[in-house]
C-alpha cells in the first residue's frame, strides 16, 4: 500500500489514474500478467484482468478490488473529472470513450518520478539479480574454449544464470565486438580475440545489467591501451558521482577522458542508464540528460571504445547511490582478464 499512497499524494481530489504499462502495473500490484490494468484515485483501487488471473487478482495483497468480468473503466470514474493516462499504453477506442466525459492528461512524469527512487526491497532484488549474473559469468569463464561460437557461449551464459535474461544477451568475438549491440552468430572463437559479454537476469521482477570484456590469449598493446582507458574512465566516473550531480556532467567527464586519450568519436553511446523493473529506465547518464542523481537511484556505468572491424571494449557495473557515493552492486573485478 505504501506505493499506492505515494501515488495518491500526487493526485488532486478529483483525479484518477489508469495504469496499463505492464511494468508500472507490476510496480503497484506485484502481479505479473499479460493482461492487467489498474485504476487508482484518492478513494478507489481497482485491478482489471480476465478469468485466467482471477484467483491471483482476488488474492492481491495491496487492497485492489479485482474486476475480472468484461467492464469498461469509465464506469468506475464517476467521482473524477480528470484522468491521467499513460499515453503510450492506451488504445484509441479507450481514449475516445474517456475523452467524451473526462479531461485527459499525461501520467508520464508522475510514473517516472515514483519509480526513480528505489526502496530497500527493490535494491535487494536488484542486488540479488546482480549476484546471480556475476556468478554465472565466473562459472562460464571456466568453460570458454577455442572454436566455440558466439551463440554457443551465449547459450551457456544464459543457462548458467538459471533465471530469465533481463534482455537479449550479447556475446561478440573479435571484430564483431566493435558493434556495441551486435547480434551473436556463428563466428568462432580464436586466439587473440576479444570477447564482449553484456548480460543480466530478472529476480523477483527486477533486472541486473553488466558487461565484461576479456581476452582469449595475450592481447595486443592496442587492446591493452584501450582496455586501460575504458577502465580508468569507468573508475573516474564512479568517483565523480555524488548526490544532486547532473548526469550529463558525469557522462561528459568520462567521455572527455576517453577522447583525450586518442579515442575521439569511438565512444558513441551514453555512459549509463537506470535499472529496475525495466532494464532501461531513468535516470539517464547521457550528454542530453536533465536528470540529477539522488540517493537510492540505481544505474549503470558503462563506458566503451569501439574500433570498427577490429575490436570493442565495454566495462559495465550496476550501482546504487548510497551516502553521497556510488556503491557497486557487483563484486567481480573489472581488471584485465586473459583466458
pLDDT at residue number 252? 98
pLDDT at residue number 77? 72
Delineate the domains of the chain, giving CATH numbers in brackets: 2-116 (3.40.350.10), 120-328 (3.90.230.10)
| β-bridge mates for residue 306, sequence order | 312
The pLDDT-based confidence of 184 (bands split at 50, 70, 90) is: very high
pLDDT at residue number 103? 82
pLDDT at residue number 323? 86
pLDDT at residue number 95? 75
Give yes or no for residue 71 having a pLDDT over 70.
Answer: no
Across 87-96, 99-108, 242-251, which has the greatest mean pLDDT? 242-251
Q: Which of 76-80, 133-137, 296-300 is the least confident region? A: 76-80
Query: Could you give the dihedral angle defined by the CA atoms of residues 223, 257, 182 and 164, in that order, rounded to the nearest 10 degrees?
Result: 110
Query: Could you give the CA distance from residue 339 to residue 290 in angstroms, rounded to a whole number?
Result: 41
The percent of residues above 70 in pLDDT, for the chain, comes to: 97
pLDDT at residue number 264? 97
> pLDDT tens across 211-263, in order?
999 999 999 999 999 999 999 999 999 999 999 999 999 999 999 999 999 99
Between 76 and 29, the more confident residue is: 29
pLDDT at residue number 92? 76
Please return the burial class of 56, using the count of CB atoms within 10 Å of its CB with bins 0-12, 13-18 and 19+.
Answer: middle
The pLDDT-based confidence of 324 (bands split at 50, 70, 90) is: confident
For 294, the 3-state DSSP assignment is coil
Global pTM value: 0.92
Alpha helices in the chain (DSSP H): 2-9, 22-29, 54-58, 92-99, 108-116, 120-141, 150-161, 221-240, 247-258
The pLDDT-based confidence of 335 (bands split at 50, 70, 90) is: very high
> pLDDT tens across 108-121, in order?
888 888 999 999 99
Average pLDDT across the chain, whole number: 93
Q: What does the chain come to in residues?
A: 339
Q: Which of 15-19, 97-101, 175-179, 262-266 is the least confident region? A: 97-101
Q: Which of 21-30, 74-83, 154-163, 169-178 is the least confident region? A: 74-83
Taking residues 208-213, report their average pLDDT: 98
> pLDDT tens across 258-282, in order?
999 999 999 999 999 999 999 999 9
> Which one, of 124, 125, 135, 192, lies nearest residue 162 by Cα?
135
Amino acid at each position: 500500500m505504501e506505493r499506492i499512497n505515494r501515488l495518491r499524494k500526487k493526485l488532486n481530489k478529483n483525479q484518477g489514474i489508469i495504469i496499463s504499462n505492464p511494468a508500472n502495473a507490476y510496480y503497484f500490484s506485484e502481479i505479473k500478467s499479460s493482461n492487467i490494468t489498474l485504476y487508482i484515485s484518492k478513494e478507489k483501487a481497482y485491478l482489471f484482468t480476465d478469468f485466467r488471473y482471477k484467483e491471483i487478482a482476488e488474492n492481491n495483497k495491496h487492497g485492489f478490488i479485482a474486476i475480472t468480468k468484461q467492464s469498461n473503466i469509465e464506469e468506475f470514474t464517476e467521482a473524477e473529472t480528470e484522468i491521467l493516462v499513460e499515453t503510450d499504453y492506451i488504445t484509441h477506442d479507450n481514449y475516445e470513450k474517456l475523452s467524451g466525459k473526462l479531461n485527459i492528461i499525461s501520467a508520464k512524469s508522475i510514473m517516472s518520478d515514483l519509480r526513480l527512487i528505489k526502496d530497500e526491497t527493490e535494491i535487494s532484488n536488484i542486488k540479488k539479480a546482480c549476484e546471480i549474473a556475476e556468478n554465472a559469468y565466473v562459472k562460464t569463464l571456466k568453460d570458454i574454449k577455442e572454436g566455440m561460437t558466439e551463440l554457443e557461449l551465449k547459450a551457456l551464459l544464459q543457462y548458467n544464470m538459471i533465471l530469465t535474461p533481463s534482455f537479449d544477451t550479447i556475446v561478440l568475438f573479435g571484430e564483431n565486438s566493435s558493434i556495441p549491440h551486435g547480434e551473436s552468430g556463428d563466428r568462432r572463437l580464436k586466439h587473440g580475440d576479444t570477447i564482449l559479454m553484456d548480460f543480466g537476469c530478472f529476480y523477483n521482477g527486477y533486472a541486473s545489467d553488466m558487461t565484461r570484456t576479456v581476452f582469449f590469449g595475450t592481447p595486443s598493446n592496442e587492446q591493452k591501451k584501450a582496455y586501460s582507458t575504458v577502465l580508468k574512465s569507468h573508475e573516474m566516473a564512479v568517483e565523480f558521482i555524488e548526490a544532486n550531480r547532473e548526469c550529463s556532467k558525469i557522462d561528459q567527464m568520462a567521455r572527455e577522458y576517453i577522447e583525450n586519450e586518442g579515442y575521439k568519436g569511438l565512444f558513441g553511446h551514453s555512459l549509463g542508464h537506470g535499472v529496475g523493473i525495466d532494464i532501461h529506465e531513468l535516470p539517464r547518464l547521457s550528454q542530453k540528460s536533465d536528470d540529477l542523481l539522488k540517493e537510492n537511484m540505481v544505474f549503470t556505468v558503462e563506458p566503451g571504445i569501439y574500433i570498427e572491424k577490429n575490436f570493442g571494449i565495454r566495462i559495465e557495473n550496476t550501482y546504487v547511490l548510497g551516502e553521497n557515493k556510488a556503491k557497486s552492486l557487483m563484486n567481480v573485478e573489472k581488471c584485465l582478464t586473459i583466458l
